[in-house]
Amino acid sequence: MKIVTSDQMREIDRYTIQELGIPAASLMENAGRAIAEEVLRFKGDTNCDRWLLFVGKGNNGGDGIVCARHLKDAGMQVTLLYAESPETLTGEAALQYRIAKALGLPCLIYSPEQTIEFNDYTGIVDALLGTGAKGAPCGVYASLIKEANDSGLPIIAADIPSGLDADTGVVHDPCIRARITVSLAFLKAGLTQYPGAKVAGEVIVRYIGIPNVLPPGMAGTGTVLTEETLRGELGVDVDRPREEDGHKGTYGHVLLAAGSLPMSGAGLLAAKAALRAGCGLATWALPAALLPHVVGTVPELMLAPVAGSGTGAWEEAAADEVVRLLAARDVLAVGPGLGRFPGENDFLRALWEGTTRPLVVDADALNMLAAGDGLAAWTRRDSAATILTPHPGEMARLAGLTTAEVQRDRIGLARRFATEHGVTLVLKGARTVIAAADGRYFVNYTGHPGMATGGSGDVLTGLIAGLLAQGLDAVQAAALGVYLHGLAGERAATKRFNPASLLAGDIIEAL
């Protein structure tokens, strides 16, 4: 499933109509009909048979008029409510208006002074604003959106809920609260990210006759992460069968630099998750003072005490030991529970620049990156797999923004950061975004709200490192890791009486 921005959708429309020669009117016909079919599906056996269609002045409105015509023919009562005088409609929407007029479809023209008798209707189709909208709805559009929401009637949105930013998922004030959104041709990026995903309700993508090929040269579209995406576009053997003559050396060796006295559990969780991901061996490099506390907790795990000052904290000098250990191992994951310490930036830089092994950077290691002179000053790791896994707060520090600013454009920011720094960026949170250095991006839909608990991120780090050790490339490992992490979380959540009781360790057990 492809994900597009409004600019990309406009270019796809243009290409389809002007270059391929598919008439715009037939696309609008298919769009309106698809929306009508979803309205009828929603109606099902209920007596929701009186529909009020809010029609805006652009092509989104045109879709609404077509939808009304098909609903009428399916036996529904329909009333078109034009936001502005329908005489101002242009292009295909004007054509649809003329047809509706010739058919005598009942219609009203909105005026804020007049009250709409919502009791006369059982549902609303929102065809006010689509991908042509800019900024917060204004004028009559704002009033209509508020009235629709206040009516309490179920709303089915054409393409996007009016008031939603189609690119970012930002919800303007006001914005339609839809029960269902029928996204036309491709999934609009703003429907994949919160809070947009919430106001969109159930999102259904419908084919409208736009061929499933992108215009030549179009880059930067996204893909929903599914098993099909993993197997197809990403070329991952999701089944990951074990070789009959395989041995532990076949599946790689993860080195983990993690944990400090108050956060030793983070290291344990990450190490255990790496093993559950299927790597052959895992070694945990840790401050020597931790050793007595963790010996035997995960018997499958090897322990390598490195920072020996006895405080249980990491120290800058340990970087050399980690680099030495890595010579005989395949992947380094750094960060979970690492804590902060003097010389931390040089410590991390030594790992970043001193090795060409695949690297996963998480948690405190990300904060060290953010606190330092900036990634731009460091040698790029383009030739080696490098995965950064920030949550929104860590991303904010990395990018010099507030968390709210990060959340306002997760996809855009992740893509810019990944391409600028030549890394694979995993921006965590509901609907995790995986952005590749080459501009591709993926949005993950697996997961469960119960996973919002300490240690979940450490599990993901270990999981991704474990997959890297088995030979997956950075984007493959990040994508499969995020996908499986969410799936395991879903499974773990169902095993609890209440998903609020889910612990990070349960995610590992569910892997």
Sites of contact with ligand NAX (CB under 6 A) = 13, 17, 24, 27-28, 31, 56-63, 129-138, 141, 158-159, 184, 208
In the set 27, 78, 158, 387, which binds K ion (CB under 5 A)? Answer: 158
Nearest approach, Cβ of 11 to K ion (angstroms)? 20
* Interaction partner, residue 56 (K ion, ligand NAX, none; CB < 5-8 Å by kind): ligand NAX
For residue 162, the partner it binds in ligand NAX, K ion, none, with Cβ less than 5 to 8 A by kind, is K ion
* Closer Cβ to K ion, 56 or 455, answer by number: 56
Residue among 433, 472, 73 at smallest CA distance from 238: 472
Q: How far is the CB of 190 from K ion (least distance, A)?
A: 12
Q: Which of 122, 108, 105, 101 is nearest to 54 (CA)?
A: 108
Interatomic CA distance for residues 33 and 24, integer angstroms: 14
Q: Give whichever of 26 and 46 is closer to ligand NAX, judged by the CB atom.
A: 26
Query: Closer to ligand NAX at the Cβ: 141 or 341?
Result: 141
Residues 6+ apart with CB under 8 A from 341: 313, 314, 315, 316, 347
* Contact status, residue 126 vs residue 178, Cβ threshold 8 Å: yes
Q: Which does 174 bind (CB under 5 to 8 A by kind): K ion, ligand NAX, none?
A: none
Minimum distance from residue 217 beta carbon to ligand NAX (Å): 20
Sign, Cα dihedral of 415, 236, 203, 70 = positive
- Residue 428 known to bind ligand: yes
Annotated binding residue 30: no
Is 337 within any annotated ligand binding site? yes
Task: Determine the residue with CB nearest K ion.
Answer: 162
Task: For the sheet with 359-361, list strands across it.
Answer: 187-188, 2-4, 222-225, 441-444, 433-435, 424-427, 386-388, 359-361, 331-334, 253-257, 281-286, 302-305
260, interface contact from ligand NAX, K ion, none, CB < 5-8 Å by kind:
none
Backbone angles phi, psi at 422, to 5 degrees: 65, 35
Reference 264, options 288, 242, 281, 248; nearest CA is 288
Take residue 51 and report the two structure tokens written for it. 């529909």
Task: Map 456-481 to HEC letters.
Answer: HHHHHHHHHHHHHHCCCCHHHHHHHH
**Residue 320 annotated in ligand binding:** no
Name the residue type at position 68. A
Q: Is 391 annotated as a binding residue?
A: yes
The answer to whether 431 is a known ligand-binding residue is yes
How many of the other CB atoms lie within 10 Å of CB of 391? 19
Q: How far apart are CA 441 and CA 418, in angstroms?
A: 10
- Is 200 labelled as part of a ligand binding site? no
Q: Is 7 annotated as a binding residue?
A: no
**Is 133 known to sit in a ligand binding site?**
yes
Instruction: Name the packing angle between helices 344-353 and 364-371 (round to 10°).
Output: 100
| Mask for 162-191, x = binds K ion (CB under 5 A) | x-----------------------------
Cβ proximity to ligand NAX: between 56 and 457 the closer is: 56
- Partner touching 154 among ligand NAX, K ion, none, CB below 5 to 8 Å by kind: none
Q: How far apart, in whole angstroms, are the C-alpha atoms of residue 296 and residue 312?
A: 18
Task: Identify what 13 binds: ligand NAX, K ion, none; CB under 5 to 8 Å per kind.
Answer: ligand NAX
Window 53-72: residues binding K ion (CB under 5 A): none
Q: Which is nearer to K ion, 4 or 468 (CB)?
A: 4
Residues 6+ apart with CB under 8 A from 372: 345, 348, 349
Is residue 203 a contact residue for K ion (CB under 5 A)?
no
User: Is the CB of 160 or the CB of 234 nearer to K ion?
Assistant: 160
Task: Single out the residue of 411, 463, 466 nearest to residue 440, CA to CA.
Answer: 411
Q: Which is nearer to ligand NAX, 140 or 338 (CB)?
A: 140
| Secondary element (H or E) of residue 255 | strand 253-257
Q: Tell me if 126 contacts K ion by CB under 5 A.
A: yes
Q: Which of K ion, ligand NAX, none binds 126 (CB below 5-8 Å, type-dependent)? A: K ion
**Nearest-approach distance from CB 391 to K ion, in angstroms:** 32
Q: Is 131 in the site for K ion (CB under 5 A)?
A: no
Q: Report d(CA 425, CA 422) in Å as an integer.
A: 9
Q: Is 266 annotated as a binding residue?
A: yes
Interface stretch with K ion, choices 126-134, 183-191, 288-296, 473-481 (CB under 5 A): 126-134
Q: Determine whether the annotation assigns residue 349 to a binding site.
A: no
**Alpha-carbon distance 130 to 163, whole Å?**
9
58 annotated to a ligand binding site: no
Which residues sit at the interface with K ion, rule CB under 5 A? 126, 157-158, 162
Going by the annotation, the residues of the binding site for K(+) are: 60, 126, 162
Going by the annotation, the residues of the binding site for AMP are: 428-432, 457
Going by the annotation, the residues of the binding site are: 59-63, 126, 130-136, 141, 159, 162, 266, 337, 391, 428-432, 457-458
